[in-house]
Amino acid sequence: MLYARLSNGTFLLGLDAENVRRLQAGEPIEVDLRRLGGHDKLALLYGEALADIEADLVKLTGGPLPPAQPLPPVGEH
């Protein structure tokens, strides 16, 4: 995986075919954004349906999830 932080503060994550295969196999990918000057960690998951991703999140976190939050429209911060 390629990851970087652009000069405008945007974090860039690039996945190759092996990363996609890992995600499809149910192996989450974790990125520590602190290495790039961020403040958090990021976990990438994959699922055929949202219910699959939710089930993986419950396994990853060990508990029920808070309500999902919608992403902002592209271009908004």
Report the DSSP beta bridge partners of residue 29.
44
pTM, full prediction: 0.67
pLDDT digits (tens, 9 = 90+) for 17-45: 999 999 999 888 988 888 888 888 888 99
Mean per-residue pLDDT over the chain, rounded: 85
Question: What percent of the chain has pLDDT above 70?
Answer: 97
